Amino acid sequence: MQVKKLITVAGALGILACGACFLPPPERRPPPPLIPALQGVKTIVVVATNSSSTHHIDTDRLAAALAKQINSRHGDTKIRGLVGTAAGPADATLSVNIREESATSAYVDKSGRTTLWTFEPKVSAKLTGADGQILWQEKEQVHQVKEAFATNDEADAWRRFSKLEWSLPYILGQDYLDQIFYGRR
């Protein structure tokens, strides 16, 4: 009796799984409109600097990671991200300055080999139009980014963090692109 029930349940799950696979994809909602100040912007050059006393974060990697995130939204925004001032003329410039770098650690495992690090860089960022008008700005904001590394050395942890292309942009916060493009907070 239980075998028949299991076969029935397995068959029902199989039908649901196959049926769900052949359904049309869900409708994709259009993105919200860009803020008025960005309506004519097609390119944003990203320039990163580090004026902290420690200089742990690699600014070239940070600029590249930010430009890559801008480009990941190109389908919705039609805006391209470029790296550095050598990229040529652009419609806007995203300037990011790391003012201070702070990190604290807490052990994750009992062996003490893996450490959870909380990185808290103080960052100022500004998006400026080609005419010099400030389109978006954040002054001396601190956003926590947590990562686990197999090191107890703070300088080594910063070196490893600076190489994480997908994690670096979060020093501007989880939703900084929504703030820049759509004015959301």
Tell me the pLDDT tens digit for each residue of 101-153.
999 998 777 777 788 999 999 999 999 998 899 999 999 999 889 999 988 89
pLDDT value, residue 99: 95
Asked whether residue 15 is assigned to any structural domain, the reply reads no
Q: How many residues does the chain have?
A: 185
Q: Would 51 be classed as within a structural domain? A: yes
Does residue 19 belong to any structural domain of this protein?
no
pLDDT at 124: 95
CATH number at residue 61: 3.30.160
Among the ranges given (5-14, 80-89, 139-148), the one the predictor scored with the smallest mean pLDDT: 5-14
Whether 26 is in a domain gets the answer: no
What does pTM read for this prediction? 0.79
Residue 54 and residue 67: Cα distance in Å, rounded? 24
- Structural domain boundaries, residue 73: 34-182
Residue 5 is assigned to a structural domain of this protein: no
Quote the CA–CA distance of 173 and 124 in Å, as a whole number: 12
Within 10 angstroms of residue 126's Cβ, the number of other Cβ atoms is 15
pLDDT (0 to 100) of residue 137 = 93
Residue with tokens 């963090």: 161
Max intra-chain CA distance, the chain: 78
The total number of structural domains that make up the chain = 1
User: The tokens of 120 are what?
Assistant: 């808290």
Answer yes or no: is 127 within a domain. Answer: yes
Helix and strand numbers (H, E) in the chain are 5, 8
Least confident of 29-33, 61-65, 80-84, 127-131: 29-33
Confidence of residue 86 (pLDDT cuts 50, 70, 90): low
Give the Cα-Cα-Cα angle 124, 153, 103 (nearest 5 degrees).
Answer: 25
Residue 142: inside a domain, yes or no?
Answer: yes
In a domain, 172, yes or no: yes
